[in-house]
Structure 1
Amino acid sequence: MKIIDCHHHYWDPRVNPHPWLTDRPMIPFRYGDYSAICRPWLPEDHARAAAGWDLVASITMEGEWSPADPLGEARWMARLAQEQGTPAAHVGQIWLDRDDCAKVLDGYATLPLTRSVRHKPRSTPRPGMGPGGLADPAYLAGVAALARTPLMFDLQCPWWHLADLARLREVAPDLPVIVNHTGLPADRSPDALVGWRAALEQAAGMGTVYLKISGLGLPGRPWRLEDNRDIIRTAIDIFGPDRAMFGSNFPVDGLCGSFDTIFSGFDAATRDYGAAERAALFHGTAARVYGLDPV
């Protein structure tokens, strides 16, 4: 099976500014202690992790480079792609509610490797605690500016804020949105999963919305198919193979399992799907959405 890893990182905190990887004390993190990933993760590391899989292309995600230089990581990634042939596309950093948003968007026009941008909106710790940053007028003004460019929008927020996509659609009805990390279903209690499924169904009905099935690790336990199979299949049922894609979230999800464990889990969870459906999930959807050469 050819695969495109639709969501992972490259970073080198020895020479580049990633405060969360270098500063101490470490920040609160959903997987707990992340000291094991506070080191360089470069193309050779990713290739080594993916050994045994036919990894034909990679899409890198912004890795919280210093917000003082929002274009710096994308420029570094473009140099990396020129020198090493990877990544095939990049999702850049943006701060939609800052005064420099338009200037940064103009900067991305000179960096064609960057196909999408991400700014994680402010979120609440639990459902029912009010709207998150996705409903903020300043944030939405940045979304409207983004919609006037060729870029897409990668959205990472807990599932209980996906309803605010309706506000986004008011200012950017045609902006392609890629929901990251399966909507973050970290709470696997029955009530939470009912809410997660309803949120994904609502998001899937809002036009050009896609889903990255990734980031499924659970704190304090290894990545296991028995924990994630139903999540994977429910997500595919809702979005369909033509709007869903698989990503490793490496090196972050390396805290939960190996690359082989995670992609073997995707493989096992979809073994009874048709060949065309599996081809879409493993590489076709990512190639089409992010404008990569056919594989």
Structure 2
Amino acid sequence: MNIRNEIVGVETSQVGPSDERKSSRLKIFDPHHHLWNLEENRYPWLEPGTPSIVGDPSPIRRNYLVADYLADAAQFDLLGTVHLDGGFDPWNPVGETRFVHKLHERHGFPNAIVGQVELDNPKAVELINAHMAASPLLRGVRQIVAWHQDPRLRYVERSDYLRDERWLRNFAKLADFGLSFDTQVYPHQMGDVAAVAGTHSETPIVINQAGMPDGLRTGDLSAWKAGMRALSACHNVYVKISGFGMLLPGWTVGDVKPLIAELVDLFGPTRLMFASNFPVDKLFRSFADIYTDYFECVHWLSPEDREAMFSATAISLYRPVFKA
């Protein structure tokens, strides 16, 4: 099923050039993107004057809805998507799940939802129940816990979430709901993630943005490699490959191909997923250029392994719902 063709009525033969890397023949299932309506909802990180790791977000400080996403992804055979929380109003996280579910009912996608839940919140379980009541598409929750010594790279002010007793108690309850956990961490936090993964092996943990390889800025990737090696030993840990532009805005295939090869070697294709991180990564390059470069980085793999990374792994993990 081609989501774009189903929604906007475009024939596959009319989309893109024949080059496999830029045509609808490259089938993708995008497991990490955002949609937002700034007129109806609040996204604090997008408000003017709010510091952000992405620099100036003003180019994406506008509504980004179904038609916008489909226009960006038009050169590919889009099988479906997973919506990740987009920095929605933290006082009303379930509101985002309701918003996305309405889009699914109207347009047939997104096909799965990962909602915002802060597991240190005393009402975390209530929030999970509310998310699930808001949409049967809920497949996981996410909390970004990425703390960095450099304040410019810091997402949160606490560095100890992954060792906090209340946080860990609430994490343990995810298995009862059958939910996965998405998170964003830096390499120095991966040891703590591995400890959580080892204790709670029944809960899939998804590392976002390729593990935030801050060594792309410094040239020293040793901490990232060691952290990923520790995580790869945990069978329930997956990695989304995306977000390179947040750390290296002008990244090239030469910059990231060694990292992707390292991930393939450590995790294997069945625990890896290419993702767009749109519209955030739109600040750095086009959707087509990102996926073209991803393909260039793994063209040496078998068709089956490429299929795993571009669609099959994500579909298996997030169990998307496709409208008839």
Q: What interval of TM-score do these two structures reach, taking the shorter chain for normalisation?
A: over 0.9
Higher fraction of helix: 2
Residue 264 of structure 1 aligns with which residue? 292
Give the letter aligned to residue 124 of structure 1. Answer: H
Secondary structure of residue in 1 paired with 2:115: strand
Distance 2:259 2:149 in 1: 21
Shift in Å, 1:231 = 1.6
Tell me, in whole angstroms, the C-alpha distance in 2 between the residues paired with 1:271 and 1:248.
18
- How far residue 13 of structure 1 moved from its aligned partner, in angstroms, is 1.0
Query: SS of 1:265's equivalent?
Result: helix
Aligned length: 289
Task: Give 1:113's aligned residue.
Answer: 137
C-alpha distance in structure 1 between counterparts of 2:148 and 2:244, whole Å: 20
Unaligned runs of 5+ in 2: 1-25, 151-157
Distance 1:221 1:122, change over 3 A: closer
Residue of structure 1 in register with 2:153 after alignment = none
Distance apart, 1:169 and its partner CA: 3.6
Letter in 1 for 2:181: F
Q: RMSD between aligned alpha carbons?
A: 1.9
Match status 1:168 vs 2:193: no
- CA separation of 1:123/1:188 partners in 2, compared to 1, >3 Å: closer, same or farther? same
- From 81, 88, 98, the equivalent of 2:104 is 81
In structure 2, what is the Cα distance between the partners aligned to 1:122 and 1:142? 19
Shifted more, 221-230 versus 84-93: the winner is 221-230
Query: Aligned in 2, Cα 1:273/1:204: closer, same or farther, shift over 3 Å?
Result: same
1:26-37 pair list within 5 angstroms: 26-27=50-51, 29-37=52-60
Report the Cα distance in structure 1 between the residues aligned to 2:316 and 2:106, rounded to whole angstroms.
Answer: 24
Aligned ranges for residues 62-211 of structure 1 at < 5 Å? 62-110=85-133, 111-121=135-145, 123-125=147-149, 132-169=160-197, 172-188=200-216, 192-211=220-239
User: How has the CA–CA distance of structure 1 residues 190 and 63 changed in structure 2, closer, same or farther, with 3 Å as cutoff?
Assistant: closer
| CA-CA distance at 1:233 after TM superposition | 1.6
Letter in 1 for 2:32: H
Q: Give the conservation status (yes or no) of the 8 Å contact 2:213–2:247.
A: no
Q: 2:313 aligned with 1:288, yes or no?
A: no
* Corresponding letter in the other structure for 1:123: W
Aligned to 2:270: 242
Paired residues of 2:270 and 2:313 also in contact (CA < 8 A): yes
2:73 maps to which residue? 50
CA shift at 1:107, angstroms?
1.6
AA aligned to 1:73 is E
Report the secondary structure of 2:261's partner residue. Answer: helix
Normalised by the size of structure 2, how large is the TM-score? Answer: 0.84
Q: Deviations over 1:168-217 (max 9, x none)?
A: 24652311101101100132267731110110110111231111011111
Paired residue for 1:2? 27
Confirm or deny that 1:19 pairs with 2:47.
no
Q: Secondary structure at the match of 2:245?
A: coil
Q: Does 1:60 align with 2:83?
A: yes
SS at match of 2:139: strand
* Residue type at the aligned position of 1:60: H
Residues 85 and 115 in structure 2, CA contact (< 8 A), matched pair in contact too? yes
Whether the 8 Å CA contact 2:137–2:321 is kept in 1: the answer is no
Say which SS state the counterpart of residue 148 (structure 2) adopts.
coil
Deviations 1:67-125 (A, max 9, x none): 11121101111111000111011110101111211111112332221101101126232
Identity across aligned pairs (percent)? 33
- For structure 1, which runs of at least 5 residues remain unmatched after alignment? none
